[in-house]
Amino acid sequence: MEKVRLQKFMADAGVASRRKSEELIAEGHVKVNNKVVTEMGIKVDHSDKVEVDGMPLETEKKRYILMYKPRGVISAVKDDKGRKVVTDLLEEDVQERVYPIGRLDYDTSGLLLLTNDGEFANHLMHPRYHVDKTYVAKIEGILETEEIKKLESGIKFKDYTTSRAKVRVMSKDKKKNSSIVRITIHEGHNHQVKNMFDAVGHKVEKLARENYGFLTLDGLVSGKYRDLTRQEVAQLKQDNR
């Protein structure tokens, strides 16, 4: 392995972002080969012993996984209530310690990314990077034109205001008093899509994420996954610089 800057090595190991890793180095939290380092220019590789607050870093081959998350599964690597988590769906071919990028609610299905590349995950989750995420929601009631305009122009909540969304009503069922709606957002606040529809008077009955940027669920069934291609990883990194 080619030597890389210490802060990148730390970010790749999932310690923190590069910027936060630089702060940890400057504050004396990091040792390389048993010596505290506070300089930014040092380079390391797997042959070096790197510790943060006394804990050795272990780096693995980078893994990037696209999963079709089922409903009833937690977007986490463990759950204190003993519920099934997304990493329980991984088979023996995944030996790396991957974790989900962001989250999907317990009762939400759809496209979820997992990785062990901390810097990659931090980039995709950073608010300044506008990664479109498209959801299909079954909601109670018939979504009206004025409500669509409100969703598209931004909903104001206590802690934040949503950015412009793209909304398209795919179908309406007046007998069952329900609508199927496709909505595209790029933020990732907790329960955001559900809260947005609640704000215009419609409860979400079912929710699925179909797209993450240019990525889709094509070729996957619920509970299955695949590795991202090198081209897909490169494009995600390029799109989020």
Query: How far apart are the two ends of the chain, measured CA to CA in Å?
Result: 24
d(CA 26, CA 36): 10
Q: Do residues 69 and 224 touch, judged by C-beta distance below 8 A?
A: no
User: For the chain, what is the radius of gyration of the CA atoms?
Assistant: 21
The backbone torsions φ and ψ at residue 70, rounded to the nearest 5 degrees and listed phi first, read: -80, 165
For residue 40 the two structure tokens come to: 């930014």
Provide the pairing of β-strand 108-115 with 215-216: unpaired
Distance set, CA 20 to CA 6, 32, 43, 105, 222 (Å): 12, 17, 17, 28, 36
Provide the pairing of β-strand 204-212 with 108-115: parallel
d(CA 98, CA 94): 8
105, 117, 173, 218: the catalytic one is 105
Active site residue 80: no
The backbone torsions φ and ψ at residue 179, rounded to the nearest 5 degrees and listed phi first, read: -135, 150
Active-site positions? 105
